[in-house]
Amino acid sequence: MLSRTEALAAADQAGLDLVEVSPNADPPVARIVDWGKYNYQKTKQAQKSRQKSLDMKQMRIGLKIGEHDLDVKLRKVNGFLDSGHKVKITVIYRGRELAHKELGFKLAERVTDMLGESIVVDQPPQFAGRQLNFVVRKK
């Protein structure tokens, strides 16, 4: 254990900087390092820990999907949500199903109800072409 003046002298002799690494420790911990390199590494480490995969996953559902098939797909959607992804759920219309657009909105409502209170609808159901899209994420 060195005194502050001895540590500063040793850092000056080495041509480096004295950096306080852990100020809350008893006694405080300091290191003799190159400040520029140390600061760069700290910044990179902070950016790396802040990065989160914000991928948008997609799940396609037909309008006539069975109850069990819907359960399986929603289990997969829950897995995506638990790992931090947003999920775009697409209800696909085929043929004459387009005449009954309200069925897709009912299915979308049923899906959000089945996913529970732990989700937020980021983008409400919107009809585009032959499909109905909406985006959900974890609260």
**What is the full DSSP assignment across 72-129?**
HHHHHHHHHHHTT-EEEEEEEP-GGGGG-HHHHHHHHHHHHHHH-TTEEEEEEEEEET
Burial label for 100, CB within 10 Å (0-12, 13-18, 19+), is: exposed
Question: Is 55 or 58 the better-scoring residue by pLDDT?
Answer: 58
What pLDDT is stored for residue 52 in this prediction? 60
Report the mean per-residue pLDDT for the chain.
90
Measured from the Cβ of residue 63, the count of other Cβ atoms closer than 10 Å reads: 18
- CA–CA separation, 46 and 70 (whole Å): 40
Q: pLDDT-derived band of residue 3, with 50, 70 and 90 as boundaries?
A: confident
- Segment 77-122, tens digit of pLDDT: 999 999 889 999 999 999 999 999 999 999 999 999 999 898 999 9
d(CA 139, CA 92): 26
- Tokens standing for residue 26: 């008893």
- Percent of the chain at pLDDT > 70 equals 96
Residue 71 scores a pLDDT above 90: yes
Cα–Cα distance measured from residue 91 to residue 108, given in angstroms and rounded to the nearest whole number:
8
Q: Domains of the chain, with CATH numbers?
A: 4-50 (3.10.20.80), 56-138 (3.30.110.10)
Residues 12-42: b if buried by 16+ CB within 10 A, e if exposed:
eeeebbbbeeeeeeeeeebebbeeeeeeeee
